[in-house]
Amino acid sequence: MLRFFDRFPLALHPLIEIVNRFLNIVCPAKCAGCMQTLNIQDVTMKKIVLLTALCAIPFVQGMAADSAAGEKKAAVCFACHGKDGHPAIKSYPTLAGDNAEYLVVALKGYRDGSRLDPIMVPMAKALSDTDMANIAAYFAQFK
């Protein structure tokens, strides 16, 4: 299997790790049929592997978010949104159970100025992409 992947440019090797993780989820038994398919060395297979890697990126990134780190970073959020994402004051949005991807997009919008709110803009400007993913994972775990 490695010989097939070695044919890809070095820049694609991180995507290959994503493909391997994805394949382990789809076929954890690593059946002979899956492995035989991976050994087909033609242009079609390269396209399939690349497409699989690109599709798996958001899935793997979502898995990488650390809700424990998000809880620590979100401590400042608790004043308005509540520790469990349910605000005490109903004029603030409930974050509990929101889709993590949506929360990340919203935070990035505040940071880049495409969403405007006098409270949220300065809060989001201080966050890295990793912080945003972790905070989103933290609030998304609640119902």
Neighbour count for residue 96 (Cβ, 10 Å): 17
Q: Does domain 67-140 have CATH number 1.10.760.10?
A: yes
Strands (E), the chain: none
**Is-contact 97 143, C-beta < 8 A?**
yes
Q: What's the pLDDT at 66?
A: 87
Q: Summarize pLDDT for 27-60 with one digit per residue, the tens.
A: 655 555 555 555 544 556 666 666 776 666 655 5
Q: What's the pLDDT at 91?
A: 94
Q: What global pTM score does this model have?
A: 0.57
- The b/e string for 108-123 (b: 16+ C-beta within 10 A; e otherwise) is ebbbeeeeeeeebeee
**Is-contact 110 121, C-beta < 8 A?**
yes
The token pair that represents 39 in the structure block? 């050994």
The segment(s) of the chain belonging to CATH 1.10.760.10 are: 67-140
